[in-house]
Amino acid sequence: PPLLEVENVTRDYSQGGFFSRRPKLRAVDAVSFAIGVGECVALVGPSGCGKSTLARLIVGLDSASAGRMRLEGRQYRGRDLAPLQRASLSLVFQDPFGSFDPRMTIAASLGEPLRLLGPMGRAGHEARLAAAIAEVGLDPAMLGRYPHEFSGGQRQRLAIARAMVTRPRLLVLDEPVSALDVSVRGEVLDLLARLRQEHGLTFLIISHDLDMVAAMADRVMVMDAGRIVETGTPETLFAHP
């Protein structure tokens, strides 16, 4: 079976509070698709078309108003994902600055997702953190430091380390390099490509950067006004007649 199946997923937001008479906003509108193991799929579309909402549903940070998803055949609506399933889907947020708590050490931030795996003992916990930080090319001695001590590129590496610490099968990447200086984008993209290969990861990448999408994605889904309006390879979709 596919790694992830999304079937008729809809997400409505109420506008103006619970008692408002305004119609609901349909941010995601009856979306269906599947992603196979090892695929790299890009999700593109204009700002506000529903990409981030869909990403949050898939990783279990929010729940669908209608429809269902399946992870390796197991059905869920969003926040009802069981902890072990949740640990196998990681979201890399768009903003590496906002996603780390400035008052927490890197070790504490990276350790948080490990709670999903249940008790593992201090040595096992520390080994996971050291492996994750080494894997993104940073020094384990940095674990005791705080987010403000790192550059933008380093913080995005840390965000990737935090996403990898539970050893997920699917990474959902929301604009993974758009907040970074052009000079470090290539390095972060190379890191992602290497992790994908070494761990047999599956990627769902949200991006505005069509050059990056063309270079990385096996398949592209175009979203508009909450719907997937086109799907194809980068070659067919971006071909200039």
CB of 144 to ligand ADP, least distance (A): 22
CB of 210 to ligand ADP, least distance (A): 15
- Asked whether 51 and 223 are in contact (CB, 8 A), the reply is yes
Q: Contact letters (x/-) for ligand ADP, 67-86, by CB under 6 A?
A: -------------------x
Q: Does 13 bind ligand ADP (CB under 6 A)?
A: yes
Q: Which of residues 155-184 bind ligand ADP (CB under 6 A)?
A: none
Q: Which stretch binds ligand ADP (CB under 6 A): 56-64, 130-138, 179-187, 195-203?
A: 56-64
- Angle 185-186-187 (CA atoms, 0-180°, nearest 5)? 90
Tokens of 55: 């990403």
Distance of CA 199 to CAs 54, 176, 202, Å? 24, 18, 9
Alpha carbon distance 177, 163 (integer Å): 15
Query: CA 216: distance to chain centroid?
Result: 15
Q: Which is nearer to ligand ADP, 20 or 139 (CB)?
A: 20
Q: Which is nearer to ligand ADP, 79 or 139 (CB)?
A: 79
Q: Does 27 bind ligand ADP (CB under 6 A)?
A: yes
CB of 176 to ligand ADP, least distance (A): 13
Q: Which stretch binds ligand ADP (CB under 6 A): 53-61, 129-137, 182-190, 211-219?
A: 53-61
Q: Does 153 bind ligand ADP (CB under 6 A)?
A: no
Alpha helices in the chain (DSSP H): 51-58, 83-87, 106-111, 122-135, 152-164, 182-199, 210-216, 234-238
Alpha carbon distance 72, 227 (integer Å): 24
3-state SS class at 8: strand
Residue of 4, 6, 33, 51 that binds ligand ADP (CB under 6 A): 51
Binding-site ranges for ligand ADP (CB under 6 A): 13, 25, 27, 45, 47-53, 59-61, 86, 89-91
